[in-house]
Amino acid sequence: MSKRLLKSGIIVSGMTLVSRVLGLVRDVVIANLIGAGAAADVFLFANRIPNFLRRLFAEGAFSQAFVPVLAEYQKSGDLSKTREFIGKVSGTLGGLVTVVTLLAMIGSPVVAAIFGTGWFVDWLNDGSNAEKFMQASLLLKITFPYLWFVTFVALSGAILNTLGKFGVMSFSPVLLNIAMIATALWLAPHLENPDLGLAIGIFLGGLLQFLFQLPFLYKAKLWVKPKWAWHDEGVKKIRTLMIPALFGVSVSQINLLLDTFIASFLMTGSISWLYYSDRLLEFPLGLFGIAISTVILPTLARHHVNRDDNAKSAVDFRNTMDWGVRMILLLGVPAMIGIAVLAQPMLLVLFMRGSFTFSDVQSASYSLWGFNAGLLSFMLIKILANGYYARQDTKTPVKIGIIAMVSNMAFNLLAIPFSYVGLAMASAMSATLNAFLLYRGLAKADVYHFSRQSAVFFLKVFCAAAMMGLLVWYNSPTLIEWNAMSFLTRVHWLAWLIVLAAIVYGGMLLVLGLRKQHLLVKELNQ
């Protein structure tokens, strides 16, 4: 099992790496085009709202509720029943999302007013940010159809993942990035408002992802006609699991929206600085956290379904969870320390050109440090939450999510004196609380306990990562020196420091006795 998981994890991580690299290229192009000014704030605002709903209707709550139920249908071995179930789910979900998308497009000014209240107030009073509100309302009409496309992408991706075809879903975001890069380079510069071209890129990216997955569904004989079935037993079960998960799985996104709401009252650039720092953090989070979470969820669901037929399934469930946590520690700890040391150089190399200035680099680095404090927690949430969703328990994460969100509101109030940096710090603290409560719940239910072997594993990983961070910091130039370098020199230095980090980290792990067998699930039974 462990080798299969490792192989699947490598495939997903590899595809995700391509997507994240292109995502960084996309952000570099956007930063060069619109910088961190008013246009950037508006576009990033119009992009974030559909993305939030995407987490609810697509990759987040729906996937977490759909996969365990689909596993039950697949267990029967009856393909016709599975096809009928998929048709009913796609028709019901598609109908709901269609209504939401149309209402959001028609009522985009209302949406813009709710989430960008600061701009709306300025519009009412003919303030300096009135134009931001009008432009945000327009862009939302273009970006919201992305929600419709990506919902079906997530549905087909979840189906293909349960069949072990992880590469298709993990490759799909590449098409979004390609579309946005293409429109940013060849369409946006020719428009009076470049952010309009970027919004069109989001629309096209969603369409391409949707069309890309259809042939794979057809090949798997699971491309079926959608059918409305609100009261179907399977759909009802997903609905029951999904409704509470809508909130629980999207706590981090809700927190980001609260940050966006508060940032609309702050200085111009706040939303952009938060975005660019969040994007850098999303790189390791998506590459490692989401990839590992995606791989283990179907396996955990199967172990739970087979618990009555196989007494060993409970042990396998616990071991799979521990394997996921180990992988997060192995990859997340060095990523967290590496970002802490190289935050400013990375921002400078990636984004400082065109409209994105040295001052923007400094401002974005402060929020990046704030977010980075919670990186490990963000990643662990992805794994620990699966311990509930695989057992079809969505109510507990909701309760925990409510606590985390209320806490984030309190943290935001306390962080007001620190402006946008305080918002980033509040998100990190909220994520840490969320991860702790998720683990405590699993431990109390005797579903998963952090093993003694994993504790030793963590100590080795931390020591290796600390040595890596110390040597990279010692050999890194000062920020003033970074700024004085040519672009190619900066790239050379950053690449060298990253290679140094990888060599030191890998070498220290070997010195501390970490071997391949320590990464296998079977090792956990010893």
DSSP letters along 132-174, please?
HHHHHHHHHHHHTHHHHHHHHHHHHHHHHHHTT-HHHHHHHHH
Q: Residues in the chain, how many? A: 526
Could you list the mean pLDDT of each consecutive 10-residue stretch along the chain, which spans 526 residues? 56 67 76 67 74 62 72 71 81 84 87 77 76 82 85 80 70 84 85 83 89 82 78 79 64 64 68 78 72 68 58 71 85 91 88 75 88 89 82 78 82 76 86 91 84 87 94 91 88 92 92 72 43
Report whether 141 contacts 196 (CB < 8 A). no
Q: Do 229 and 92 contact (CB within 8 A), yes or no?
A: yes
Q: What is the pLDDT of residue 314?
A: 66
pLDDT number for residue 473 = 93
**How many Cβ atoms are within 10 Å of 422's Cβ, its own excluded?**
20
Report which residue type is found at 407. S
What is the rounded distance in angstroms from the CA atom of residue 425 to the CA atom of residue 423? 5
Specify the pLDDT at position 72: 74
**Domain boundaries along the sequence of the chain:** 38-249
Q: In 3-state terms, what secondary structure has residue 35?
A: coil
Q: What does the DSSP assignment read for 242-310?
A: HHHHHHHTTHHHHHHHHHHHHHTTS-TTHHHHHHHHHHHHHHHIIIIIIHHHHHHHHHHHHHHHTTTT-
pLDDT for position 87: 84
The 3-state DSSP composition of the chain as helix, strand, coil percent (nearest 5) reads 85, 0, 15
Q: What is the Cα–Cα distance from 238 to 159, expressed in whole angstroms? A: 14
Residue 269 backbone zone (phi > 0: left; psi -120 to 50: alpha; other: beta): left
| CA distance linking residue 210 with residue 187, whole number of Å | 22
- pLDDT, position 436: 93
Six-digit token string for 402: 């409510």
pLDDT at 525: 39
Both tokens assigned to 136: 């945000």
* Residues 438 and 393: beta-carbon distance below 8 Å: no
Beta carbons of 71 and 162 less than 8 angstroms apart: yes
Spatial distance between the Cα atoms of 83 and 78, rounded to a whole number of angstroms: 9
**Predicted pLDDT at 467:** 95
Kindly report the pTM of this predicted structure: 0.66
d(CA 246, CA 219): 31
221: how many CB neighbours lie within 10 A of its CB?
A: 10
Q: According to the model, what pLDDT value does residue 13 have?
A: 62
- Side-chain-side CA neighbours of residue 94 (13 Å): 17
Task: Report residue 69 as tokens.
Answer: 């139920």
Q: What are phi and psi of 490, to 5 degrees?
A: -60, -45
pLDDT of residue 204: 92
Burial environment of residue 486 by CB neighbours within 10 A (0 to 12, 13 to 18, 19 or more): exposed
Instruction: Quote the CA–CA distance of 411 and 431 in Å, as a whole number.
Output: 11
**Which pLDDT does position 268 carry in this prediction?**
67
Helices in 352-394 by DSSP H: which ranges? 358-372, 375-389
Where do the DSSP E strands lie in 30-110?
none
Tokens of 408: 């984030």
pLDDT at res. 474: 92
Q: Which pLDDT score, from 0 to 100, does residue 507 have?
A: 92
480 contacts: CB under 8 Å, gap ≥ 6: none
Q: What 3-state DSSP class applies to 516?
A: helix
pLDDT number for residue 337: 94
